[in-house]
Amino acid sequence: MIASSVGRRGVNRPADVEQVQTLLRRAGIDPGPIDRIAGPRTIAAIVGFQQRFLTRPDGRVDAGGRTLARLNGTPARPVSRATSAVRPLPTGRPAPAVSPPARHDESHDWRGDSSAWPQERKLASLEPGFRRKIDAVLADLRAQGFRPTIIFGWRSVAVQQQLMRRGVTKVRFSFHNAQTPQGRPNAWAVDVVDERWAWNEPDCHVFFRALGNSGKAQGLVWGGDWTGFRDWAHLQGRQNAELRLVKRESGL
């Protein structure tokens, strides 16, 4: 069940992208990591899936559309506009394999794919002083009418290296990977998009400029200011020159 379209020229709400990525994987097509971003690999995976039943794949999954029905393993059927957002799944069939994170002690459960954690857990994965600044940035952005959503707070070194291989990041150890010496997530970086636009031009850059301005007002470093590799969604609480120090503080 997705709220709006995912893929090429889709709305690409992160929660919807995550569902589609999970369904593609279940259908045996690799969309890359479940990272809630409709990037080239995800779009290629949608096209690959559509080639099974469409003569002209468009790379997009619409809410209530044929591709989503196929992904859910159910026959396509017309869905009335009024009810498409709330139509229940056919009974007797398991829900799409998008499992909510296990509900244990919220403050101590750091397992699983950190990009799929609830927003609150992502915030809790930040270094506490940095988190207070990010709380202020998010409140400021919401006051401006944006809908900020965190893609990554903390992430593991293993995920970092996957992202590096995909060209999403240039560094093997990043401020996202910071932890306490005991191994508790203690990230000095967040990646934030507007849930309405994610990476879709041109609107997303209206958001990213606001993110940069708001972050810098809190004394944070904004990846959009970097030359060479602009990391538009990225805010960090330490200077780049401190990366080795942060790695040492992390016991890594």
User: Contact positions toward Zn ion, by CB under 5 A?
Assistant: 189, 191, 234
CA dihedral (158, 162, 167, 170) in degrees, to 10, reads 10
Which residue in the block uniquely carries the two structure tokens 């750091």? 110
User: Dihedral sign, CA of 92, 93, 95, 97?
Assistant: positive
Measured from the CB atom, the residue of 6 and 151 that comes closer to Zn ion is 151
CB of 176 to Zn ion, least distance (A): 6
Lookup: tokens for 222: 């904004």
| CA 183/CA 190 separation, integer angstroms | 18
Residue whose beta carbon is closest to Zn ion = 234
Q: How far is the CB of 140 from Zn ion (least distance, A)?
A: 19
* CA dihedral angle for residue 87, residue 91, residue 93, residue 97, rounded to 10 degrees: 40
Evaluate the omega torsion of the peptide bond into residue 202 and state whether it is cis, within 30 degrees of 0: yes
Cβ closest to Zn ion, residue 46 vs residue 178: 178
* Closer of 8 and 122 to Zn ion (Cβ): 122
Nearer residue to Zn ion within complex by CB, 44 or 173: 173
Compute the least distance from the CB of residue 152 to Zn ion, in Å. Answer: 6
* Nearest distance from C-beta of residue 172 to Zn ion, angstroms: 14
